[in-house]
Structure 1
Amino acid sequence: MNEGSLMRRHSRLVGALAVLALSLAAPAPAVAAEEPAAPVTVPALADWTPASGSYHYGTRTRLVADGATERRVAGTLADDLRAAGHGRVPVVPGGARAGDIVIDVQPSRTSLGAEGYELRAGKRLSVTAATDTGAFYGTRTLLQLLAQGDRVPAGRTVDVPRYKERGVGVCACYIHVSMPWLENLVREMAYHRLNQLLLELKVKSDTHPEANTWGYYTKDEIRRLVALGERYHVEIIPEINSPGHMDPWLENRPDLQLTDSDGNRQPSRLDITRPESFTYYTSLIDEYAQVFTATSWHMGADEYMLGSDFAKYPQILKYARDTYGPDATPQDAFIDFVNRVHAYTAGKGKRLRIWNDGLTGANTVQVAAGTTVEHWLNVATKPSRLLAQGHPLMNAAYALYLVRGGFHSDTEGLYDQRWDPRSFEGEKLASREGITGAKISLWPDNGRGETENEVAVALWPALRHIAQATWGDPHPDDTYGAFVARGTAVGHAPGWRDLTRVPVADGSYTFQTGGRSFTAEVARTADGYVTVRTADGCLEVRGGKLTLNVPLQPGVEAAPRTCDPANTLQRWQLEPAAGGHRLVNAITRMAVSVSDDGRFVQYPPDRRTPAVWHLS
């Protein structure tokens, strides 16, 4: 019960005592009983009908599941119950008894939709849905309830989301984001009934090895993450931004870089007038299809001419007029590239998604209908116009951004304003029709501005808020503090790992590997990493070309520098390994190896085997 409810009850009690003191003979006024509050979950249960008694989870509890679909959902629930400390629960067929949990998928329950569920709690607890996804979400609610105790108040809820797409976007496109961090994110998303993770990232390419500058993930890493997403009903949509922001892919392909009228190459811009550029980009789409199973492809399509002008690139106007006639604009060439990618992905059975800011209105050619537009910036073409043009519309407003080392979404302010997915940058729509949903976005504009663990601190409240605003009532509690208390009550998802734990105590250690050794003071940082302080200073990665203020090149040296507590490049993760620990930089996510000439250098683990340091 929130503070406001307690105050109202206190006021009624004081009033009743005052009346009694004035006239003992007067009959006491009737006081209406308060409706029992719905159990605490995130998102909140909007439809709760209480009943008498409670459900008790105990040592004799079983998961009753008859069909293959039900057994699959029950198997995931059993694993999560064990991970959450609730013991091993058997999955059995047949009749349910008191204390059991029943999973039931009934396709005829069409009113529940693809993701809704009914939960009933009494002597036993049942989750009923029309699909396995709906049943899975019912089990997330159950896990949240059990996180608060072994008894669940008796009652019934029918819980159906308002929006189809409820998501998070992560740019792991320059700064590498560790796989354990991403796995935590998938589990947390599922726990809060979010279903879509956009990942802008680089997968190590077999087709184009020249593109394998650092920041990539191996295909096996992605396959494992996608499998986790599938098990937890989180669709992981890949993005390779194009035709702008392609420098991670074009660094070693000057032949495909857009060249201005002065002969200057633009390493972040793909030359959309060249057939080879389209072939290159679509070959990357094909390679990503080897590891991603999503039914959508995100091509970004934002900020192609950021800080520049089409007039500096006359070949673009020529291409547009050669293709669409004398009235065509340079913007038409850009739209043409988007539409060609749309046609290509559609031929592969995938729907195209783009950002909105490239749709400036300075074009005669329209983006193909059916292309989902993710609206983040207020430009000339408004959300209502995009809907009228036949585009599914997702709200990815800048107000929902968390920029590493920069702007952070004001989650409390959005909650107090009762923000919902109809509120776009520059326009609020009257209806939900045509809006697919909304998401928060994480960008690494200042890559060394914050560590992953620091980002997580701001992420979890924002994640719970977007889950609430896209699933149900965006303002279920009177105050933001009461809403935050919901998150505290349900805690983290089963299987979530505390990445701030340091495996050794602070103190002086001798680090040994091979024939090298050094002595250093190890001290835990507030965000869960360590500093490694030698007699000459704190170990830091420095050198090479900076990308987003970070030295991301393999082979860059790690050496002692003047200690600076604010310098995130001096923070290290001690990653347990057989016989010792690996030293992994908190920002670059590369491990320290020893070069042939005895220097300490950073490398991706698949490029050079990381040194295993024995600490004594």
Structure 2
Amino acid sequence: MDLIPAPRVVRTALSGEDFVLGPDTPLHAGPGAEGVARWLRGVLGAAFGIALPDRADASGGITLRVDPGLDAEAYRLQVGADGVEITGGDPAGVFWGAQTLRQLAGERAFRRAPVGGHEARLPAVAIEDAPRFGWRGFMLDVARHFMPKDVVLRYLDLLAAHKLNVLHLHLTDDQGWRIEIKRHPRLTEVGSWRTGTKVGLRESTRFDDRPHGGYYTQDDIREIVAYAAERHIRVVPEIDIPGHSQAAIAAYPELGNTDVIDTTTLPVLTTWGVNSNVLAPTDTTLRFYEGVLEEVLDLFPADVSPFVHIGGDECPKEQWRDSKTVQARIEELGLRDEDALQSWFIGHFDRWLADRGRRLIGWDEILEGGLAPGAAVSSWRGYAGGIAAARAGHDVVMCPEQHVYFDHRQDGGPDEPVPIGWVRAQEDVYRFEPVPAQLAEEGPRLTSRVLGAQANLWTEVLDTVRAVDYQTFPRLAAFAEVVWSDLPAPALRDHDGFAARMAAHRARLDALGVEYRPPGGPHPWQRRPGVIGRPKEGPPPIV
């Protein structure tokens, strides 16, 4: 049946008739499953031009129900000639079962209008399934290149189709501020657009002098969060502190280190890379970002978005070393040096968020200097940060750049568009293991700290949704199976079998309009000849 991600248990009927989905098929949802019924009527109704009317007994139709006796997000799906039943341990489980049902209905079920008739034949089957990890995430960087709201909504549908349940939105950086903050309007008036853009990485001499910008209004964010919640996806906002902050400083110069640089001359950054213009550790800055986060918390309710990501990575210390104001602050706080000052900065917002019932999460640099008990770590520089965090009693999301940074190139050939990083092909992603051997050897006390994993897509060189699609797929499908399915050790995984299933899955992606990388290499229009990247040679180091 070519299901992706692969279910835990599939029993096909050796005898018995398939189920025919058609114009007379009813759909009934028990308590807690009403939202899934609304979604299923929307997608299957559009794809096949059928109504799926509600009928209490739904005999000969589709029945959805919640059974708390199953684990969270687990489901059972039974298909036979007399009907379809999806039972989930919670509404999310019912929803994931409905996603499997959609795949069983064939590639036409992924279209928005009928193609080839109003019926679909579903194979007689019994499936028992549950996810391996509770955090199955994808990070979309909308700060470097803004992605309009409809692109984000489309990606939420694509995540849901692959049973992924976390969208991490990278909302602020040196190159743009993408979320409306009403008490600080210049963050979007000034900080949301730049005068031009470096084409390629720093080594490139090409420059696009078109202004680039955009941001999400607060109602846009509310819509994104609500749309995600209906698909049982949590949205994690990222507001970068204290590095990656030049867009904010361009809008409000007092946030920068004004005694070492004329911050009034700083624009929103038009190039890429680690940037020396960082936030000043003043009370003014603290109060400013507390105000920002107060509005962020209102937009991302705790019941659907308990985590807030504060970045915390790549904060150069040169300006802090040269600033008399900062040096006085270090002495006042009794800190040993600038590294300790960064830990103090993170610690302040760690406590601030904890006092409001939220959990801070940040890139693995935040571990340096200690964290509050509830804070979590995104381990991006390899496994080492995640291992250290788990041993220190913190939860971890594994997203090592050596394995799941999707801006890295997919092949070593000359046709890959803007070649960056190590070669990470579909098979490499399929053999990614979120739980490192060092934690597995120490037992469940530490392995339970691994909440799951996340694939990250940085968009410095991805200026269109077509480019985003190319870098994301088909690798996101491989990643989805890694974090959902109960796979063996990486060396024992059946990538050939997965690749065979991908033939059917590519037809689903085609129906959804996804411009993935073809197995044989990029189409001519997917190449970007002459744009200089930064490829890394050889296998990535295991850190």
> TM-score of the superposition, structure 1-length normalised?
0.67
- CA distance change for structure 1 residues 80 and 263 in 2, over 3 Å: closer, same or farther? closer
**Which of 395, 399, 406 is 1:402 aligned to?**
406
1:481 positional shift: 2.8
Aligned partner of residue 51 in structure 2, secondary structure? coil
- CA distance change for structure 1 residues 218 and 464 in 2, over 3 Å: closer, same or farther? same
- CA distance change for structure 1 residues 146 and 199 in 2, over 3 Å: closer, same or farther? same
* Structure 1: stretches of 5+ with no match in the other structure: 1-38, 501-524, 529-563, 568-616
In 1, Cα distance between the equivalents of 2:498 and 2:121? 27
* Structure 2: stretches of 5+ with no match in the other structure: 109-119, 172-177, 194-213, 267-274, 409-417, 488-492, 517-523, 532-543
1:270 positional shift: 4.3
1:391 aligns with 2:406: no
1:457-476 superposed matches below 5 A: 457-474=470-487, 475=493
1:230 positional shift: 1.4
> TM-score of the superposition, structure 2-length normalised?
0.75
1:559-570 superposed matches below 5 A: none
In 2, Cα distance between the equivalents of 1:196 and 1:397? 17
**Which of 485, 488, 508 is 2:506 aligned to?**
488
Aligned partner of 2:454 in structure 1 is 439
More strand by share: 1
**Which letter maps to 1:400?**
V
1:384 positional shift: 2.1
Aligned partner of 2:138 in structure 1 is 168
1:310 positional shift: 5.5
**Which of 459, 483, 496 is 1:478 aligned to?**
496
In 2, Cα distance between the equivalents of 1:138 and 1:86? 22
- CA distance change for structure 1 residues 310 and 254 in 2, over 3 Å: closer, same or farther? closer
**Which letter maps to 2:11?**
T
1:79 aligns with 2:42: yes
1:412 positional shift: 2.4
Aligned partner of residue 299 in structure 2, secondary structure? coil
**Which letter maps to 1:62?**
P
1:282 positional shift: 1.3
1:187 positional shift: 0.2
**Which of 323, 346, 361 is 1:353 aligned to?**
361
**Which of 95, 103, 127 is 1:136 aligned to?**
95
1:232 positional shift: 1.1
Q: How many residues align?
A: 449
Compare CA radii of gyration and give the structure with the larger one.
1
Higher relative contact order (CA 8 A, sep 6+): 2
Aligned partner of 2:154 in structure 1 is 184
Aligned partner of 1:333 in structure 2 is 341
**Which whole-Å deviations, capped at 9, do the CAs of 1:437-492 have from their partners, x for residues lacking one?**
11111112235xx5321220221212111111100145455355324224225446
Q: Which moved more, 1:457-466 or 1:236-245?
A: 457-466
1:408-427 superposed matches below 5 A: 410-415=424-429, 418-423=431-436
- CA distance change for structure 1 residues 176 and 263 in 2, over 3 Å: closer, same or farther? closer
Aligned partner of residue 92 in structure 1, secondary structure? coil
Q: Do the aligned partners of 1:194 and 1:467 also contact (CA within 8 Å) in 2?
A: yes
Identity %: 25
In 1, Cα distance between the equivalents of 2:428 and 2:514? 28
| Regions of 4+ moved over 6 Å | 564-567
- CA distance change for structure 1 residues 72 and 471 in 2, over 3 Å: closer, same or farther? same
Aligned partner of 1:115 in structure 2 is 73
1:538-553 superposed matches below 5 A: none
Aligned partner of 1:367 in structure 2 is 371
**Which of 300, 303, 306 is 2:314 aligned to?**
303
Q: Do the aligned partners of 1:259 and 1:271 also contact (CA within 8 Å) in 2?
A: no
- CA distance change for structure 1 residues 80 and 319 in 2, over 3 Å: closer, same or farther? same
Q: What CA RMSD, in Å, does the superposition of the two structures yield over aligned residues?
A: 3.0
- CA distance change for structure 1 residues 338 and 415 in 2, over 3 Å: closer, same or farther? closer
Q: Do the aligned partners of 1:270 and 1:277 also contact (CA within 8 Å) in 2?
A: no
1:157-236 superposed matches below 5 A: 157-201=127-171, 202-212=178-188, 213=190, 214=193, 215-236=214-235
Aligned partner of residue 403 in structure 1, secondary structure? coil
In 2, Cα distance between the equivalents of 1:314 and 1:189? 48
Aligned partner of residue 244 in structure 1, secondary structure? coil
- CA distance change for structure 1 residues 464 and 378 in 2, over 3 Å: closer, same or farther? closer
Q: Do the aligned partners of 1:147 and 1:491 also contact (CA within 8 Å) in 2?
A: no
**Which whole-Å deviations, capped at 9, do the CAs of 1:341-384 have from their partners, x for residues lacking one?**
1121222222111001354x5x4xx12122110000149x6422
Aligned partner of 1:6 in structure 2 is none
More helix by share: 2
